[in-house]
């Protein structure tokens, strides 16, 4: 079946690479994946599309320079959150994102974001989650950012660190390459501890927007 769920071992065998390589790609957001509990899982149809994109020359890897933050995020898509439950967080961000002109069906977005999170956790460690979805009712990629003032403990992060930063990505169904590139961009950039601390310490939506649209500081990645 096209929607079979694969393990790291099965993906590694299919791609003829090591399991460690697949794990690293998943951690960096470079391959379509998610977590069920604390283990990575992969949808077969997404992996096949990802392979086809790469073999056709549409390589995503480290190519992140073309991501323009101000084209996909605005101050109005930034929220300060005070929810302890990931469901409340996801609904709030999806509802906010549903107001973007690129999103034509707010309710579908909310439902599909929740459904995807039930299937696979979108945490990447370091207190970060990047819930993401592609839908035919979305006309162009757009992002909503959540800065949580409290720990969100039920995302089931592999490193057990409570989530405080949530970047929600909604893309058109035919934007698979750009979608993966955006995931990889945020996964890589948010490894920067100084950037994460700056976002958590921001006071206003404009502050967050300013931090995100500046060049990422070259400091510790811990």
> Active-site residues: which are they?
132
Burial 87-126 (b: 16+ CB within 10 A, else e): eebbebbbebbbebeebeebebbbebbbebbeebbbbbbb
For the chain, how are helix, strand and coil distributed in percent, rounded to 5?
A: 45, 20, 35
Query: Residue 103 carries which DSSP code?
Result: B
Question: For residues 70 and 145, is the Cβ–Cβ distance under 8 A?
Answer: no
**Nearest C-alpha neighbor of 144 from the set 133, 136, 153:** 133
Which residues are CB-contacts of 145 (< 8 A; sequence separation ≥ 6)?
73, 77, 78, 79, 165, 166, 167, 168, 208, 212
């Amino acid at each position: 079946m096209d929607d079979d769920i694969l393990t790291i071992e099965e993906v590694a065998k299919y791609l003829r690479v090591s399991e460690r390589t697949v794990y690293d790609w998943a951690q960096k957001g470079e391959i379509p994946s998610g977590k069920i509990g604390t283990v990575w899982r992969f949808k077969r149809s997404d992996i096949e599309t990802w392979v086809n994109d790469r073999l056709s020359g549409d390589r995503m890897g480290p190519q992140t320079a073309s991501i323009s933050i101000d084209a996909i995020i605005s101050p109005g898509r930034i929220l300060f959150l005070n929810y302890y439950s990931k469901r409340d967080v996801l609904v709030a961000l999806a509802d906010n994102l549903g107001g973007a002109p690129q999103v034509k069906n707010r309710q579908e977005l909310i439902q599909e974001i929740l459904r995807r999170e039930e299937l696979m956790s979108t945490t990447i460690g370091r207190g970060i989650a990047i819930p993401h979805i592609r839908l035919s009712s979305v006309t162009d990629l757009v992002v909503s950012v959540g800065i949580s003032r409290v720990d969100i403990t039920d995302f089931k992060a592999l490193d057990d660190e409570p989530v405080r930063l949530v970047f929600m990505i909604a893309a058109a169904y035919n934007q698979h390459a750009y979608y993966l590139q955006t995931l990889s961009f945020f996964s890589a950039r948010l490894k920067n501890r100084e950037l994460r601390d700056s976002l958590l310490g921001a006071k206003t939506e404009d502050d967050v927007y300013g931090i995100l649209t500046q060049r990422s500081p070259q400091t510790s990645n811990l």
